[in-house]
Amino acid sequence: MSKKTILIIDDDPIHLQIYRLILESAGFVGLPALVTTRGVDFPESAEVDAVLLDYRLAPNLSARDVAQVVRERYPAASIVILSDMYDAPVDTAPFVDGFVRKGNPAQLLSMLRELVQKTV
């Protein structure tokens, strides 16, 4: 069985590294996509099983906007919002499949495992 690829979208390169390590230690392939002032630096060609999307991004780009683009680029991929908020952001609800509060890697990994099993 091949490893599932999780696209990580964040505007902080250190967060990209941290989540990539968390994902890879759990048997996933972590694929970083940095958010810049120009937008998201998506990988050129990659098959993505799920997307981990930080809620607070660059001032000129909202998680809702990015989630819409992700749905177009990777229609089969599940999207999980990662945020320091206590509840799931209402504005992204129509575009995402899950919400995890930062600082809970066990919950994050559990949710991702469940979501990628659905895409098999």
Average pLDDT, integer, range 54-73: 87
The token pair that represents 19 in the structure block: 């989540």
Q: How far apart are CA 70 and CA 5, in angstroms?
A: 14
Which one, of 17, 7, 18, lies nearest residue 42 by Cα? 7
Ranking 39-43, 44-48, 71-75, 111-115 by mean pLDDT, the lowest is 44-48
Q: How far apart are CA 34 and CA 19, in angstroms?
A: 12
Q: Return the pLDDT at 1.
A: 55
Q: Among the CATH numbers 3.40.50.2300, 3.40.1280.10, 1.10.10.10, 3.40.50.150, which is that of 5-118? A: 3.40.50.2300
Q: How far apart are CA 53 and CA 67, in angstroms?
A: 8
The string of pLDDT tens digits covering residues 35-57 is 988 888 888 877 899 999 999 88
Phi, psi of 11 (to 5 degrees): -95, 0
